[in-house]
Amino acid sequence: MQYQRLRPSLLAPALIAGLAAACGSSSNDRPLDASPAPPSDSGSAADAAPPDGTVSTACQSPFTVTPDQNAEANATAALLALSPTATMTWAPARGTLSSIQGLVVELPTCTGSVNAYDLFLNYLAGSPALFQIDPTEWSTSTLPCSEILANGFHTLVIHRVSYGPFPLDNDVFSVVADVQNGTAVFRNFSGVYIPPPTAAMVATLQGCHAIDVLTGVLSTPFSYQIFAPPPAAQCTAAGVGSYTVTPADTVTLDPAVRMRWEESSVVTIHPESTATLVVAPANYTAQLEGSDANCTDLDGNPHIGWVRTFDAFTGNVLYDHRSPDPYCTVCLK
């Protein structure tokens, strides 16, 4: 079996109690045509959510972000004020720029121990119509200007850490720091990101709460790819199996809610939480051990399970990672 362990496993700290009562009796390796049990509509909401476990209409996620219709025109005008020859590539669904060509920003104060990242964030904040970046929502780092002046080309990269009251991981923005005529400059601005949330969106998100939907989340069976045993070649697909959680298994819940957006003709934001299922060794079968749900460690010991990502506000299952280690992918080809 081929696998790749990208980083050590980081399982969530909160063990879900009462799993036996929630799951009842169930069978392993559920038939492929078995219908998933319907998600539970009941449960106690966290942080003073409604007592019946429901979510207010405003929190019916996912959320759709509609760009400001004037954003591109405002950004174009702001860029023209900075440089009449610079050009911009626009991402219409996101409502933000993708890249700027021809804009060179001289940095006469970039000397010695001055942090180039501070200058970068200050410059972005100084043109909100063009960049639409709130520095308080983004990470920073440290790069002394002396490094740029001594060595020239550096790429400065910042990452979005929050969207309103919740963490967000998608967004990235970068610039090249270089030296021109003995002075540090910024050039080649580019990014993949969405604008800061509107006041109305922040108010909506502040009123949202993760609810107790774990029973419903776990009621949907977990699928896995079966691989043919030797003498077949490694990672030869041999069907798909399905597993239903049992009281003997271990489930951990990561209570954190993180935002993740996806782009089509519009941007859709999902509030995500994860639950990790580790299958009890007593429930191992030959199919499970020969599947992509089994991340074998360096000593050859099997570790079978899944990391399930679900909508924290509705309990809808979004996607599964096969194997209990989120950084292990089985049978890469």
Digits of tens for pLDDT over the chain (333 positions)? 333 333 333 333 332 333 333 333 333 332 223 233 333 332 322 333 333 333 344 477 999 998 999 999 999 999 999 999 999 999 999 999 999 999 999 999 999 999 999 999 999 999 999 999 999 999 999 999 999 999 999 999 999 999 999 999 899 999 999 999 999 999 999 999 999 999 999 999 998 887 777 888 899 999 999 999 989 998 999 999 999 999 999 999 998 999 999 999 999 999 999 999 999 999 999 999 999 999 999 999 999 999 999 999 988 999 999 999 999 988 865
Residues 257 and 291 in one domain: yes
Q: Which two tokens stand for residue 42?
A: 């009941």
Residues 136 and 113 in one domain: yes
Question: For residue 290, how many C-alpha atoms fall within 13 Å in the half-sphere facing its CB?
Answer: 17
**Are the C-beta atoms of residues 219 and 36 closer than 8 Å to each other?**
yes
CA angle 96, 98, 104 (to 5 degrees): 110
Residues 71 and 190 in one domain: yes
Residues 238 and 289 in one domain: yes
Which residue in 230, 240, 321, 277 sits closest to 3, CA to CA?
321
The domain containing residue 179 runs over which residues?
66-201
Contacts of 232 (CB under 8 A, 6+ apart): 238
Task: Check residue 12 and give its pLDDT.
Answer: 30
Residues 100 and 176 in one domain: yes
Characterize the bridge pairing of strands 96-101 and 166-167. unpaired
Residue where a domain terminates, one of 152, 167, 201: 201
Beta bridge partners of 322: 306
What region does 227 belong to: left with phi over 0, alpha with psi -120 to 50, or beta? Answer: beta
pTM: 0.77
Residues 74 and 47 in one domain: no
Residue where a domain terminates, one of 167, 201, 235: 201
Cα–Cα distance between 68 and 128 in angstroms, integer? Answer: 13
Q: Which two tokens stand for residue 176?
A: 């090249």
Interior/surface letters 142-158, b for 16+ CB within 10 angstroms, e for the rest: ebebeebbeeeeeebeb
Q: Which two tokens stand for residue 3?
A: 């696998």
Count of the separate structural domains present in the chain: 2
Residue where a domain terminates, one of 201, 229, 252: 201
In the chain, where do the E strands start and end?
3-5, 14-15, 63-65, 87-91, 96-101, 105-106, 154-159, 162-163, 166-167, 172-180, 183-192, 222-227, 237-243, 250-263, 267-278, 305-311, 317-322, 328-330
Residues 195 and 77 in one domain: yes
Residues 183 and 291 in one domain: no
Residues 79 and 193 in one domain: yes
Residues 23 and 56 in one domain: yes
Residues 177 and 223 in one domain: no
